[in-house]
Amino acid sequence: MTAEAGKAAGIALVISDVDGTLVTGDKRLTAATVAAVRRLRAAGIGFSIASARPPIGLRSLVAELGLDLPMGAFNGASVVRPDLSIIEERTIPEAAARSALDRLLAERLDVWVFADGAWCLRDPDGPYTDLERRTIGAEPRVVADLGTLTGSAAKIVGVSRDHAHLAACETRIAAALAGRATVHRSQAYYLDVTPPDLDKGRFVAWMSAHLAIPRERIATFGDAGNDRPMFAQSGYAVAMGNAEASVQAAASAVTDSNDADGFARAVERLILP
């Protein structure tokens, strides 16, 4: 463990981010992580995930981890069952989606639109497309005019290999879309635009009400800025060792990195009774 506060007490539910947290940098679940989820269940502690991924990108996790609770996709804008059927779903208001698309393109970013259950883009060989194929287990749909999708967009993503530029874009675009959409980087190379007033914190609150578990008995794990709302709604928050300093500062404890079984180590030392 990199650093830690006191051990959590009375945790009844764990909700984890996926990329940068639950899986390794090459998108694998390690044996230690799978075993940690199994030990949570054996101790009577529920487990779910909240991710920027589309629902289809959660399918392999359901199978490998035996997930049986609702999950948050698109940073909490969609709540789905383990069979990926929709419980709740919202899309970005069309005017905000069009503005987001125009601004992302003006920043010379590659742009992806997730709409109508599909991952849509203009360049199938653009930056990080191979990574996304492996991550969600799906092929993109090539669309000449992404503007035709702004009426049904669940998430719009700006993609760039220039991480510093993308960070600057986050500040500008979040300010421009304030109140009309939620804007966060889910990775250093992905800038996500999702529906307004919906984030991973809202999913934690939804799960608290759905399962009748007080928020102080919920623990959350994450590594990125879009995980901080989740931390704020839970009683105990664990940041990964690979997280930015601001994310670590918002957590109750900091564990090792996602490539050093940080999730499994924290479950064993901080969560399990």
pLDDT per residue over 210-250, tens digit each? 999 999 999 999 999 899 999 999 999 999 999 999 999 99
- Average pLDDT score over the chain: 95
How many Å is the maximal CA-CA distance in the chain? 54
Helix 163-176 to helix 94-106 angle (10° resolution) is 150
Q: What is the mean pLDDT of residues 14-35?
A: 96
Domain that holds residue 139: 94-194
State whether 98 and 175 are in the same domain.
yes
* Token output for 98: 């069009």
- Is pLDDT of 199 > 70? yes
Over the stretch 73-131, which tens digit does the pLDDT of each residue have?
Answer: 999 999 999 999 999 999 999 999 999 999 999 999 999 999 998 999 999 999 999 99
- d(C-alpha 264, C-alpha 3), whole Å: 15
Report pLDDT for 258.
98
CATH code assigned at 71:
3.40.50.1000
- Provide the number of structural domains found in the chain: 2
Output 108 or 3, whichever has higher pLDDT: 108
- d(C-alpha 263, C-alpha 273), whole Å: 16
% of residues, the chain, pLDDT over 90 = 90
- Is pLDDT of 272 > 50? yes
DSSP 146: G
Q: Would residue 1 count as lying in a domain?
A: no
Q: What is the mean pLDDT of residues 124-142?
A: 95
CATH code assigned at 101:
3.30.1240.10
State whether 107 and 67 are in the same domain.
no
Report pLDDT for 186.
86
Q: How confident is the model at residue 271 (pLDDT cuts 50, 70, 90)?
A: very high
- d(C-alpha 41, C-alpha 46), whole Å: 6
State whether 80 and 205 are in the same domain.
yes
Last residue of one domain, picked from the residues 167, 194, 221: 194
Report pLDDT for 3.
46
Helix (H) or strand (E) holding 128: none
- d(C-alpha 98, C-alpha 112), whole Å: 13
State whether 107 and 188 are in the same domain.
yes
Alpha helices in the chain (DSSP H): 31-42, 59-65, 94-106, 129-136, 163-176, 200-211, 228-232, 245-249, 262-266
- d(C-alpha 117, C-alpha 122), whole Å: 17
Report pLDDT for 5.
57
- Is pLDDT of 2 > 60? no
Over the stretch 146-159, which tens digit does the pLDDT of each residue have?
Answer: 999 999 999 999 99
